[in-house]
């Protein structure tokens, strides 16, 4: 069977939707090598999905599609999908091309989150209108909608009126590097190269307002001797974080890093004493799963999707209460036995999100959509 995928993010996004797209293509090829996988991208990119004998990158063929790649991805691709004999097309990043529902091709779409609806104050008005149009349209036209968490599934029902019987929750996986056994030599080399302290609290994710790192800084500031390392692409919000660090004299205890490789990031998780993720809202929260897989105790947000990612072994706090976060972190940092127990339970929970299990769940969605 020939399966098609919207692979723009796989070729062009280094994090988030790009990681999800690459992971889907990687685990499906490994689990179901008897099928063909066509990764459609409007233009070549510096990134690439995991290569395999059954994976092929496909771009616009005609002059118009090459001249207007965005238009090709939104509509013109449908003819190419039909010409290629694609049986099912999976929109991996909240979108489906116009008109695909009028073909014999089975359309499936993954909706990652509706954060822009839950927290409109975090998004420009024009972005909210575009997202709403695309997401609503894709959810309405897909045979089945994949939600990456029960939280997203509930939001689709409540906010967009998508019938529950058309939604399937299929969780995400994280890169195998985070599940890999510790490599003390590699970890020590990363620690030396980055000048990391022996004990530190880690956070991973774009430095944006929704990730709520100012609360983490307020919680950690009074904890003498506790260092904090935040890894993520900076946005204008990062200036507020830097201003807080300077105002409170935390320059020797707080580090902001970006541009790390996946192996380097895996080392950071293993080196960290604890991982904190006080985000206001997520579709799933993949850094939580990465931390658990790497064996790092997690403190994250109470409510929403966070317990789905964090499982029963993580600690949960009010993301708007730095005092509660401080108390939980202080107790955790002072209790090696508790950290060891959280690590054990976290790894057990993370094992549920194996490549094989998630690939099987996803392929069952495909079979149902084709039927």
Structural domains of the chain ordered from first start:
2-173+354-370 (3.40.50.2000), 176-353 (3.40.50.2000)
Position with higher pLDDT, 53 vs 303: 303
Is residue 81 a contact partner of residue 342, using CB atoms and an 8 Å limit?
Answer: no
Look at residue 47 in the predicted model and tell me its pLDDT: 76
Query: Given this model, what pLDDT does residue 78 score?
Result: 94
What integer is the mean pLDDT of 94-115?
96
Alpha-carbon span 293 to 178, nearest angstrom: 6
Confidence category of residue 70, pLDDT binned at 50, 70, 90: confident
pLDDT computed for residue 300 by the predictor: 98
Q: Give pLDDT tens digits for 194-248.
A: 999 999 999 999 999 999 999 999 999 999 999 999 999 999 999 999 999 999 9
What pLDDT, in 10s, does the model give residues 289-319? 999 999 999 999 999 899 999 999 999 999 9
Answer left, alpha or beta for residue 142, where phi above 0 means left and psi between -120 and 50 means alpha. Answer: beta
Residue 43's pLDDT band (boundaries 50, 70, 90)? Answer: confident
pLDDT recorded at residue 63? 78
Contact between 17 and 93 (Cβ < 8 Å): yes
pLDDT tens track for 320-360: 999 999 999 999 999 999 999 999 999 999 999 999 999 99
Please report which confidence band the pLDDT of residue 117 belongs to, taking 50, 70 and 90 as the band edges: very high
Burial of residue 263 (CB within 10 Å: 0-12, 13-18, 19+) is middle
> What mean pLDDT comes out for the span 45-50?
75
59: left (phi over 0), alpha (psi -120 to 50) or beta: beta
Q: What are phi and psi of 57, to 5 degrees?
A: -80, 135
Q: Is the pTM of this model over 0.75?
A: yes
């Amino acid at each position: 069977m020939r399966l098609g995928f919207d692979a723009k993010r796989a070729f062009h996004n280094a994090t988030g939707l790009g990681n999800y797209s690459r992971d889907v293509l990687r685990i499906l090829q490994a689990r179901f090598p008897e099928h063909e996988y066509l990764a459609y991208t409007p233009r070549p990119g510096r990134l690439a999905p995991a290569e395999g004998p059954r994976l092929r990158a496909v771009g616009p063929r005609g002059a118009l599609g090459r001249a207007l790649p965005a238009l090709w991805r939104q509509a013109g691709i449908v003819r190419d999908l039909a010409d290629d004999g694609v049986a099912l097309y999976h929109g991996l990043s909240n979108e489906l091309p116009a008109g695909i529902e009028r073909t014999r091709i089975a359309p499936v779409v993954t909706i990652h989150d509706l954060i822009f609806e839950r927290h409109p104050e975090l998004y420009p008005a024009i972005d909210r209108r575009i997202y709403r149009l695309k997401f609503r349209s894709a959810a309405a036209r897909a045979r089945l909608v994949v939600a990456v968490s029960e939280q997203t599934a509930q939001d689709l029902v409540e906010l967009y009126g998508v019938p529950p019987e058309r939604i399937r929750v299929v969780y995400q996986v994280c890169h195998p590097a985070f599940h890999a056994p510790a490599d003390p030599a590699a970890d020590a080399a990363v620690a030396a190269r980055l000048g990391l302290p022996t004990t530190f609290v880690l956070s991973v994710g774009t430095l944006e307002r929704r990730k709520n790192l100012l609360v983490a800084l307020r919680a950690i500031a009074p904890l003498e001797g506790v260092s904090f390392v935040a890894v993520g692409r900076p946005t204008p919000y990062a200036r507020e974080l830097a201003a807080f660090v300077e105002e409170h004299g935390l320059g020797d205890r707080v580090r902001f890093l970006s541009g790390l490789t996946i192996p380097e990031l895996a080392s950071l998780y293993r080196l960290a004493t604890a991982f904190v993720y006080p985000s206001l809202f997520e579709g799933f929260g993949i850094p939580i799963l990465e931390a658990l897989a790497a064996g790092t105790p997690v403190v994250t947000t109470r409510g929403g999707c966070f317990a789905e990612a964090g499982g029963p072994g993580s600690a949960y706090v009010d993301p708007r209460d730095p005092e509660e976060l401080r108390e939980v972190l202080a107790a955790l940092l002072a209790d090696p036995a508790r950290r060891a127990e959280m690590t054990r339970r976290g790894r057990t929970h993370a094992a549920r999100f194996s490549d094989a299990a998630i690939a099987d769940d996803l392929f069952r969605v495909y079979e149902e959509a084709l039927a």
